[in-house]
Amino acid sequence: MKRIDQGIQNNSDSRIWAWYGAEAPASNDIISIAEVAEQNAEGPEILYDNTIEKGEFSHKVARICELLNKLHEKPEALRSWEKLDGFSTFLLTLIDRAPTDIRGYALILQRFGSFIFSDNDSSKEKKNKINAVFCIEEETSIYSQIRDRAKLLNAIWYPHEGSLLEHIIRDPAKVAQAMLNRLSFSKGGQFRIIGHPFRHVRSKDLQGLAEAKTVAYQRGSDIHLISEVFQTLDKWDGDSLVGGVEQATLLDALLLHEMTELLLRENEPDICPLDAHIIASTFERYLKGPFLTLAVDDFFIDWPKPLGIEVAELQRREMSQQIFWWEKAFGPPSSSIDIGSNIDEASFREAISTCELNDSPIQRGEKIYRSKDGKLYRLDGVKKVFVRKKKSE
């Protein structure tokens, strides 16, 4: 079940919803650039198809089903979880995933639920109660404050009854049954897991994914994953045992995050990507806390790696530049200078400085200005470009 047919690219729903660790998700254009480049190389891989229950990820999906069955039947065996834990996790996710002002948070909360103020509360008192929830002291760790803030939120707001968010906050066991139904083809319909190894794809075509810290996205009922992240997630699994569901892996959390968004999109067609991301991230953090985000940050420290041909091209460009400066300093190879002979370093540096000076803005007749702190600069349009002052002898 490895190489792809064009059916992966021709999904009937062209909208893309991305998992992201940066401030904004990867856009459709960014993902399309990466996919087109991969199609020109080796293409992606079908890791699992629930219509035939086969694929490289069959055992991983089976493990997730076992985890969800345990969550449904005996959630206390996985981790302790009270309503205040749910409110704390949701509030921390909201602050982390949707950094905004108080008014922005209030609008999100109105979409997710309802405020419950006293009849005697004035408009100012209502505003103050909301402000108190999000007034985080910068000098103190947010984690030491979040539980007290969650108590304040619980006193003035509650999620929509029967919503997926309410189940995550109050009773995650109810989420498990919905997930199990969606994983089943007969009950929930088709879904596939698509792996993107991005072999032989130039790093410049993947840079947009790296800047958005996107390791997964959805198109229609297909869940797409960057395959190279799997090894990093495995490496972080040992660190993620504290404060979450020990039986779940970070890859489980990533897949269940995507399944949560898939459920939300199918059941609430008008939901916006940010709202779906916040809700799915709350369930993700019920499972593994913030460790998936930390692992993804680690992954993008050195991804994407340049291909060998990119390294060779860079070396050729650098060599061409060195030859250019050499010829400006000593003349072309046909001159009498023997490149292999010993050349006085001071003379070489003086020759290079002369070339740089001859190629300077002053020699080109460009007007030079001096800033208040004494630095020289020229104007390139409206942009200041600082120039190097000639060293005195």
Share of the chain above pLDDT 90, in %: 67
Q: Is the pLDDT of residue 385 over 80?
A: no
* Residue 201 or 337, more confident: 201
What pLDDT was estimated at residue 272? 94
What pLDDT was estimated at residue 392? 45
Residue with tokens 């190097």: 388
Per-residue burial over 117-126, b if 16 or more Cβ lie within 10 Å, else e, is: eeeeeeeeee
Q: Which sign, positive or negative, has the C-alpha torsion 189, 195, 201, 204? A: positive
For residues 62 and 68, give the distance between their C-alpha atoms in angstroms, rounded to a whole number.
10
Residue 334: exposure state from Cβ atoms within 10 A (0-12, 13-18, ≥19): exposed
Q: Is the pLDDT of residue 341 over 90?
A: no
Cβ–Cβ < 8 Å for 71, 229:
no
* Residue 372 or 320, more confident: 320
What pLDDT was estimated at residue 12? 46
By C-alpha distance, which of 166, 102, 107 is closest to 128? 102
Among 53-67, 94-108, 358-372, the range of highest mean pLDDT: 53-67
Neighbours of 309 (CB within 10 A): 10
Q: Minimum mean pLDDT among 40-44, 70-74, 336-340, 388-392: which range?
A: 336-340
Considering the chain, what is the average pLDDT of its residues?
A: 86
For residues 242 and 291, give the distance between their C-alpha atoms in angstroms, rounded to a whole number.
10
* Residue 388 or 43, more confident: 43
What pLDDT was estimated at residue 312? 82
Structure tokens at 327: 């010829």
Tell me the longest C-alpha to C-alpha distance in the chain.
95
What pLDDT was estimated at residue 13? 55
Per-residue burial over 237-274, b if 16 or more Cβ lie within 10 Å, else e, is: beebeeebbebbbbbbbbbbbbbbbbbbbeeeeeeebe
What is the mean predicted confidence (pLDDT) over 177-194? 95
Q: Minimum mean pLDDT among 203-217, 261-275, 328-342: which range?
A: 328-342
Cβ–Cβ < 8 Å for 31, 217:
yes
User: What's the pTM?
Assistant: 0.79
Structure tokens at 279: 């809700």
- Write out the DSSP string of 85-132: HHHHHHHHHHHHHS---HHHHHHHHHHHEEE---TT--HHHHHHHHHH
What pLDDT was estimated at residue 336? 45
Map out the domains of the chain as residue ranges.
Answer: 6-81+172-299, 83-159, 308-359, 368-393
Encode pLDDT of 223-269 as tens digits.
999 999 999 999 999 888 887 899 999 999 999 999 999 999 999 99
What is the mean predicted confidence (pLDDT) over 264-277? 94
Q: Is the pLDDT of residue 281 over 90?
A: yes
- Which three-class secondary structure state does DSSP give residue 380? strand
Q: Is the pLDDT of residue 118 over 50?
A: yes
Backbone angles phi, psi at 135, to 5 degrees: -85, 85
- Write out the DSSP string of 140-178: S-HHHHHHHHHHHHHHHEEEPTT-HHHHHHH-THHHHHH
Q: Is the pLDDT of residue 111 over 70?
A: yes
Residue 159: exposure state from Cβ atoms within 10 A (0-12, 13-18, ≥19): buried
Neighbours of 288 (CB within 10 A): 29
Backbone angles phi, psi at 183, to 5 degrees: -70, -25
Share of the chain above pLDDT 70, in %: 80
* Residue 356 or 277, more confident: 277
Angle (CA) 31-257-68 rounded to 5° is 145
By C-alpha distance, which of 61, 74, 76 is closest to 225? 61
What pLDDT was estimated at residue 311? 81
Q: Is the pLDDT of residue 334 over 70?
A: no
Pairing of strands 157-159, 192-196: unpaired
pLDDT band of 337, cuts 50, 70, 90 = very low
